[in-house]
Amino acid sequence: MFQAATRRAGANASTILRAQRSTTTRSICSHTARPTLRSTVHNNNILRNSRISGPRYASFWQRVRMGYREAGKGIFRKNPILLPIAFISIIGAISLFSYATYVEVMKNVPQYTKFPKNVADALRKAIYYTDIDLNAPKALHAYKTALKLAIEEGMHPFSDEVLGLKIQVAAMLEKAGLVKQATEVLERTKNEALAWVEDGQKMEAPTAEKTVSTEAQPSAAKVPADNVQVNVEAMQDAEKAMKELQEYETRQRDRALKKVIGIEMKLAELYSSDYIQDDKKAEAAQVAAVEHCLKEMHRRQRLGLPVGTSTGEGSDDSWLNLTEIATALTDLATIYTAKERHELAMPLYLRALDMIRAEEGDTPSCKQVVLLNSVASTMAGQVQLAAPRAQQKHGVSQEQTVEAARKWAQKAIDVAAHIKPPVRDEECDISCVAATYNLGELAELQKKPDVAIARYTEAKSLAKSLGYDDIVSMTDDALKRLKKHMV
């Protein structure tokens, strides 16, 4: 028993001594020995692992990005209809803003840059009270201010810009319902510009003769040798400046006359409108436009100038081109046709057709189709109104006129068949329908009811497919009339 206790005490004592020795060794090594590489790496791994395993704190932008990411995960699932609409609205708003910017930069700004700054500012105010907030008194006051400033700035009183301002005043008055006042403005503008053009054209020939005689003087005059070089250079500069001024004035007269003709055509439109209903003044205005066109054409032909300007890129647009002149002739012919004065309308249509053919060459447009059908309609109307004795007096029988009209109508259909989109438009379609209807009327005049019924039926089918209800009703009446006579 005593020995067992002694053994246990000895075991405990040896355990305590080993623990003390181990503690002493670790304590001594920690103070005296250098740390090994392995212990350093081990300690670094411990530190690194402690940083990884610890809590991480995100930055502000990271938190914002994570928030948007979380919010966007279910936004389409929660709003499957509103989200696409929102995107389309944003794209539409951007497109609209881009288009408005394009129009402002490419169209609005250039038209104001032709004027001095103070004139442009007054003009912007006038345009605002014309197009945005229609107010005739304020717009008229702004236009008057712009015109006054333009003259003070030295702008030509009959330039495109100044005449354009006056025409814009008339357009504003028409838009405000003051059509009578608009015609007064246009009449005054036309008379002033036309007087200036005619005075300038009268002075052209004497000025040219005077220039030729002035050129011949230096060669005959005896000038001292010391002053020859100086005088020649001065005369050349003066001659060049005079020539440039003369060319500028000539070009301005052509442009002003072009605007005068446009004003007269606009007056014809206003006089025949529901606001005034004065057919006599409308006809007189359109006749004046045609007369000025023909008079200027003869003058230019006599001087060796182009009768009508070309329509190509970079061409001179100071005078009317052949298509514009043909339009003036056609408008007057239409007025005569409405009054059943076919003998006056026919030469105008034929002259306009010649001009359109000369302008378009081998690439016809629907304008030719319209004019060809107009010639056929005029001939048919002339046959229906004129007495047989009057036709025999002129040496052309009714049968010959009807046959000529039939050929013109058929020619309109044939030309339209060769015109393809995008050149082909609605004018070709309606002209083809009208020409087919005219062929029915002409066959009826030739006592060919079967041919007339076939043409009327074809015209009705074409009109119905194109949605021309008026022509459908006309063909129905014609078919009823023919069938009634046949029975």
Give helix then strand counts, H and E, for the chain: 20, 0
Q: Tell me, what's the pLDDT at 313?
A: 58
Cβ atoms within 10 Å of 205's Cβ, excluding its own? 10
Q: Tell me, what's the pLDDT at 6?
A: 46
Least confident span in 34-38, 115-119, 340-344, 372-376? 34-38
For residue 81, give the DSSP letter.
Answer: T
**Residue of 64 and 162 predicted with greater confidence:** 162
- Asked whether 246 and 207 are in contact (CB, 8 A), the reply is yes
May I ask the CATH architecture of the domain 347-487? Alpha Horseshoe (1.25)
| pLDDT higher than threshold 50 for residue 17 | no
Whose structure tokens read 């989200």?
A: 83
- Can you tell me the mean pLDDT for 37-56? 45
For residue 193, give the DSSP letter.
Answer: H
Tokens representing residue 7 in the block:
């053994």
For residues 460 and 471, give the distance between their C-alpha atoms in angstroms, rounded to a whole number.
7
- Give the predicted TM-score (pTM) of the model: 0.72
* DSSP-derived 3-state class of residue 322: helix
| pLDDT higher than threshold 90 for residue 347 | yes
pLDDT per residue as tens digits for the range 202-260: 887 555 445 444 444 544 444 454 444 557 777 777 888 888 888 888 899 999 999 99
pLDDT per residue as tens digits for the range 96-111: 877 766 655 555 545 5
**Residue of 227 and 437 predicted with greater confidence:** 437
For residues 150 and 51, give the distance between their C-alpha atoms in angstroms, rounded to a whole number.
80
For residues 480 and 486, give the distance between their C-alpha atoms in angstroms, rounded to a whole number.
10
Tokens representing residue 178 in the block:
């003051």
Whose structure tokens read 């081109």?
A: 321
Quick one: the chain helix, strand, coil %, rounded to 5? 80, 0, 20
Taking the domains of the chain in order of start, what are their residue ranges?
178-212+241-320, 347-487
For residues 438 and 404, give the distance between their C-alpha atoms in angstroms, rounded to a whole number.
12
- Can you tell me the mean pLDDT for 8-34? 44
- Can you tell me the mean pLDDT for 13-28? 44
The residue type of 344 is: L
* DSSP-derived 3-state class of residue 80: coil
**422: cis peptide before it, omega within 30°?**
yes
- Asked whether 342 and 405 are in contact (CB, 8 A), the reply is no
Q: What does the CA dihedral 463, 465, 467, 468 come to, rounded to 10 degrees?
A: 0
Per DSSP, the residues of 2-38 read HHHHHHHHHHHHHHHHHHHHHHHHHHHHHHHSPPPHH
Tokens representing residue 412 in the block:
């309109």
pLDDT per residue as tens digits for the range 125-140: 999 999 999 999 999 9
Least confident span in 37-46, 283-292, 312-321? 37-46
Among 350, 358, 300, 299, which residue's Cα sits nearest to residue 329? 350
For residue 106, give the DSSP letter.
Answer: I
Among 474, 484, 400, 465, which residue's Cα sits nearest to residue 441? 474
Per DSSP, the residues of 317-379 read -SS-BHHHHHHHHHHHHHHHHHTT-HHHHHHHHHHHHHHHHHHHTTS--HHHHHHHHHHHHHH
